[in-house]
Structure 1
Amino acid sequence: MIYFEDLPLGEERTYGSVTVTRDEVIDFARKYDPQPFHLSDEAAARTHFGRLAASGWHTCALAMGVIARAVVHEEQAGLGSPGLDELRWLKPVYPGDTLTVRSTILDKTPSRSKPDLGSFRTRTRVTNQGGVDVLTFTSIVLIRRRPRI
């Protein structure tokens, strides 16, 4: 189990990658962001995207999926997040793109009111297969502290 005390400041971690599929782009857009440039090649061709583009919210969900699978696999003692700051969609994401998710630990704070908890902030970068940043955000993560014996 990985606890608050095990997380080194400044460490950059690569969580993994995911490839964006056309069917997922359209399915997500139909359900959650039904703008024409996320649903139709023809509509997207008439925009600055030039072709079908994934919703920024879909890109966030893909990044979260990569992160969650990694921290569950390694048994991190995480307890969710109270929020994000500085969310930026920097470049379009297209079907066929492979996204890689990396985070750097910016700071750590033990809880003053709950001695068994701490939090840390990370700067997360999502890059495409060309190494270009497509999404960045800063997140706050709650995590258990190592139990005292």
Structure 2
Amino acid sequence: MAGLWFEDFKEGMVIDHAITRTITEADNMTFCAMTYNTQPLHIDRHFAAKTEFGRPLVNSLLTLGAMIGMSVTETTLGTTIANLGMSDVAFPAPVFHGDTLRVRTTVGECRKSKSRPSAGIVRFRHEAFNQDGVLVASCERAAFMHRRPEA
């Protein structure tokens, strides 16, 4: 278990995640097929070539999922009860096939659960950057976390 217990998180704590990920055309096409997203901007190279981007964009929900997924090992692996929600999701720059993402997480508010003494709520701000350091995605996430078990 690599995740942190509720008590391990401190407001303002910053984690630059070790895992990076290059997003491939196959990743994007598979994700679009799995989610029934037929937007030609994602799946049609000739259509996308005629847009301001000149090439297909990676589906933003794939970017969001990768960003959060890349944070799991060093934050919530084995120590989370559930995600409570995501908000303030933004995609300030596009992601293209071949871009490599890295993720930074900043810990926000941490509070003990009022209804479950063995749990707490941690707010995370996740940010994804491409290989050039450009911010491509961000979101706020609330996680329902286990507190450290008593020995």
Structure 1 length-normalised TM = 0.91
Q: Tell me, in whole angstroms, the C-alpha distance in 2 between the residues paired with 1:7 and 1:70.
A: 11
Gaps of 5+ in 1: none
Q: Tell me, in whole angstroms, the C-alpha distance in 2 between the residues paired with 1:86 and 1:64.
A: 14
Q: Mapping of 1:1-149 within 5 angstroms?
A: 2-15=4-17, 16-32=19-35, 33-71=37-75, 75-149=77-151
- How much has 1:48 moved relative to structure 2? 2.3
Instruction: Read off the aligned partner of 1:38 and give its amino acid letter.
Output: H
Mapped contact 2:94–2:136 kept (Cα < 8 A): yes
SS in 2 for 1:129: coil
Residues 16-35 of structure 1: CA distance to partner in whole angstroms, max 9, x if unpaired?
A: 21101011112212232220
What is the CA RMSD across the aligned residues, in angstroms? 1.6
SS in 2 for 1:10: coil
Q: Tell me, in whole angstroms, the C-alpha distance in 2 between the residues paired with 1:143 and 1:137.
A: 18
SS in 2 for 1:80: strand
Residues 125-149 of structure 1: CA distance to partner in whole angstroms, max 9, x if unpaired?
A: 0000011100010000111112234
Aligned residue pairs, count: 147
Q: Tell me, in whole angstroms, the C-alpha distance in 2 between the residues paired with 1:137 and 1:100.
A: 14
Gaps of 5+ in 2: none
Mapped contact 2:68–2:126 kept (Cα < 8 A): no
Structure 2 length-normalised TM = 0.89
Instruction: Read off the aligned partner of 2:115 and give its amino acid letter.
Output: S
Instruction: Read off the aligned partner of 1:40 and give its amino acid letter.
Output: D
Structure 1 window deviating more from structure 2 (14-23 vs 59-68): it is: 59-68
